[in-house]
Amino acid sequence: MTAIPDWTAREAFLNRFYARRAGRGRKVPSFAAFPEPATMGEADRGRQILDGKFVLDGRLVEVLGASIWHNKLYGAALQECDWLNDLAALGDQKARARAQAWVWDWIARFGRGEGWTPQSTARRLMNWLHHAEFLLQGMQGPAQRNFMQSLARQTIYLARAWQFVPVGQGRVSTLAGLNAALLALDGLSRLRPKAEAAFLRALSDVVGREGQIASRNPAEAAVLFCDIVGVAVRLHATGQAMPPALQNVIEVMAPLLRGLRHGDGTLARLQGSNGGNPVALDAALAQAGVRAPAGARLHMGFARISAGRLVLIADAAPAPAGGHASATAIEISVGRRLLVTSCGDGSPFGTDWRQAGRGAASHSTLVLEGGAKPAEVMYARTPMDGGTRLELGHDGWRAAHGLVHARQIDVDIAGRVVMAEEMLMTIDAADQARFDRALVLSGGRGVDFALRFHLHPDVTVVPQDDPLVLNLVLKSGEVWALSHDGQARMTVEPSVYVENGVASPRSTQQVVLMGRAMSYATRMRWALGRATG
C-alpha cells in the first residue's frame, strides 16, 4: 500500500489544485495501441474478492457492504485497484461485472479529483491499462467514454503532480505509471518528452550499476522491475525506441532478481521481503527478454548457491538503515518446496510484529543476546572439487561479548548435502577482555548462543532415536536429516511464518541448537542431508 504523503502545506494545496483542474478535463483519448495485460493475479484470490476478502497491505482483510468505497480503513489501498489483477485472472462474467461496477462507481465518486495522490493514481492507472480489455468488454457509448476520459484526467494530473513524490523508488514507480499511460493514450504526446526525461533521472537515482536498490529488499526490487518493464512493454507496443538507459537497467536487474529466487519462484524473505509475487515477476522476466542467468556474484548483497534441486540464499552484506538483523542468515529450498526460511516482515500486523521480524532471532542464523548492528560483514565464495563453499561472518556481537560470528557452509554439487561449521571467536586482546567480562557477568556459565533453523509451515519435524538427528519431512514426503556434532543441545520450538495474503501469521516450528561459549574460540558443526531409503 502506498505510504501517506508527507507534504508541505504548499504541496498539499498544489496537489488539490492540479487534481481538481484535471478532473474537469474534457479530453477523451483513444488507445495508441490497445494495451494487453502485463501482469495477472491469482484466480483463487479473485474468488476471495467476490466474497469480500482482499489482500491489502500484505494481509487478508474483509471489506463488507454494497460498495467497497465506503471502507475508511483501507480506502486508499482499494483505490490503487490491485484487486483488478485477481478478478481478471478469475476472468468469468461475475468477476468482470464486479470489476466494472467498482471502477465505474469510483469514476462517479472520485473521478473529478477527490483525494487523488500521485503514487496511488499511478498504481491505479497501471492496473486500469493492464486490464482495459477486461473492463471495457460489453461497455459502449457513455460508459466507455467516461472510462477513457478518466484515464486522460488522471494522466494529465500525474504529469504535474509526480514532482511531489520524494526522490526514491516511489518516484520511479509514479513516473513509470505516467509514462505507461502517455504511451498508451493518443493525444497526450506533448507531455512525453518531459515525463520520459524525469523517469530516466529517477531511475538513475534509485537503481545502482549492478541493479541494486538501497533497501536491499528483494520484493521491493521486484515491484520496481515490474513497473519498469511495464514501460518497456508500452514502448514496444507503440513502436517507440527503447532509451539505452532503460534497457541497461532491465539488463542488470533481471539476472539480479533471478539470483534472489527460490525454486518455487518466491524471493528470499530477507530485509523486509515476504516472498513477492512470483506470477507477476515471471511475467516481467519473460517480457524483459533478458536471458542472462543469475551467475555466482553477490545479488544485492545476497549469495546464492544452486546445486541440483537445492537453492541456498544467504545474507552476505550489512543491513541498510532501518533494515533487518539478518547478516549471515540462510534460507534453503528443495525443488519447489521451502525448507529453511525466515519468519518474514511482520509490518502488516503492527509495530510489535514489525520489530520482532527485524530481529536476528527471526532469521536462520546464530544469535546471542545484546547484539548490535554489525560494522563489518565478511563474505567469500570458493569453488571446490565436488561443490561450493561460502564463508560468512559479522562483528555484531563484538561490542557486547568480544565475539565475532563466522560460518563456513559447503554445498555438494548434487545439492544433496549441506555441511557447516559455526564459529564464535575473539580477534584481539581487547576482544578477549570483553569476553572475560561477559563470562564473569554470566557467573562463569558461559555466553549463551542459539543457532536457529526456522522451518516452512509445510515441513514436519520427526524425532529420531539418535538425539543428534532430526528428520525434516517435506509435504511431498521427501526427507532431509538435520544433524550436529553434540556441541549443543537440539530442541524444537514454536515459530511463525508471515505470509502475504493471510489474516494472521502462520504457526510453524524452528529447530534450535543451544550452547554456551566458554573460551575464546567455540566451534560447532551441523549437516543437512537428503535421507535415503
CATH code for position 511? 2.70.98.70
Is 214 among the domain residues? yes
* pLDDT confidence of residue 479: 97
Quote the CA–CA distance of 353 and 359 in Å, as a whole number. Answer: 10
Coil/strand/helix, residue 1: coil
Residues 215 and 194 in one domain: no
Output Rg (C-alpha) for the chain, integer angstroms. Answer: 26
Q: Do 13 and 117 share a structural domain?
A: yes
The number of beta carbons lying within 10 Å of the beta carbon of residue 141 is 7
Q: Are residues 162 and 222 in the same domain?
A: no
Q: What is the pTM of this model?
A: 0.93
| 524 backbone dihedrals φ, ψ, rounded to 5° | -145, 140
Residue ending a domain, choose from 198, 230, 253: 198
Q: Per residue in 141-158, pLDDT tens?
A: 899 999 999 999 999 999
Same domain, 267 and 341: no
Low-confidence ranges of the chain (pLDDT < 50): none
Does one domain contain both 377 and 452? yes
Residue 87 cell numbers, joined: 478478478
Residue 56: what pLDDT? 85
250, 379: one domain: no
Q: Do 122 and 257 fall within a single domain?
A: no
Q: What is the per-residue pLDDT for 394?
A: 96
- Has residue 503 been placed in a domain? yes
In terms of domains, do 378 and 509 share one? yes
Q: Cα(435)–Cα(358) distance, rounded to whole angstroms?
A: 26
Q: Measure the CA–CA gap between 293 and 259, rounded to whole angstroms.
A: 8
The answer to the question of residue 238 being in a domain is: yes
Residue 2 has a pLDDT of 67
SS3 163: helix
Overall number of domains in the chain: 3
Same domain, 214 and 362: no
State the pLDDT at residue 527: 98
Residue pLDDT, tens place only, 315-366: 999 999 888 999 999 999 999 999 999 999 988 888 888 888 899 999 999 9
Does the residue 374 lie in any domain? yes
12 and 158 in a common domain: yes
Q: Which domain holds residue 451?
A: 331-530
pLDDT of residue 1: 59
pLDDT at 263: 94
Same structural domain, 239 and 369? no
Position 418 scores a pLDDT of 98
